[in-house]
Amino acid sequence: DAGVIQSPRHEVTEMGQEVTLRCKPISGHDYLFWYRQTMMRGLELLIYFNNNVPIDDSGMPEDRFSAKMPNASFSTLKIQPSEPRDSAVYFCAGGYGSYNEQFFGPGTRLTVL
């Protein structure tokens, strides 16, 4: 298994543009998590899914952020419109069961100019 796959690995965009981050979790994992990491705020949980259903999106900063999981093998995190303060590394993680380890992807480094 290739592990959690995220794309793109790096994204540079201009303020106001739409950004879509993609995640392919490890096959068989029934939980999927989106995190954001910045120097100021550290690693924050944005939203997580169980069996493709969003369970807790309380960490999503604003309505500009949305996440979907149309099937067990794919999830997206969309920012529309993007702002410079959205610049961060976004991680996708997956896991099986409610207490097992989470497997993180390599992250997407987003820069909004």
Partner 1 sequence: DAKTTQPTSMDCAEGRAANLPCNHSTISGNEYVYWYRQIHSQGPQYIIHGLKNNETNEMASLIITEDRKSSTLILPHATLRDTAVYYCIVRVLETSGSRLTFGEGTQLTVNP
Interacting residue ranges for partner 1, rule: CB under 8 A: 4, 31, 33, 42-45, 48, 50, 55-56, 91, 93, 95, 98-99, 101-107
Question: Considering beta carbons, is residue 28 or 42 the nearer one to partner 1?
Answer: 42
Write down the residue that tokens 């169980």 correspond to. 50
Question: Considering beta carbons, is residue 50 or 73 the nearer one to partner 1?
Answer: 50
Least distance to partner 1, CB of residue 92, Å: 8
Least distance to partner 1, CB of residue 55, Å: 5
Contact 65, 77 (CB under 8 A): yes
Cis peptide before 25 (omega within 30 of 0): no
Contact 59, 65 (CB under 8 A): no
Q: State both tokens at 67.
A: 């996440």
Question: Considering beta carbons, is residue 74 or 103 the nearer one to partner 1?
Answer: 103
Contact 74, 22 (CB under 8 A): yes
Least distance to partner 1, CB of residue 58, Å: 9
Q: State both tokens at 70.
A: 């149309």
Question: Considering beta carbons, is residue 54 or 81 the nearer one to partner 1?
Answer: 54
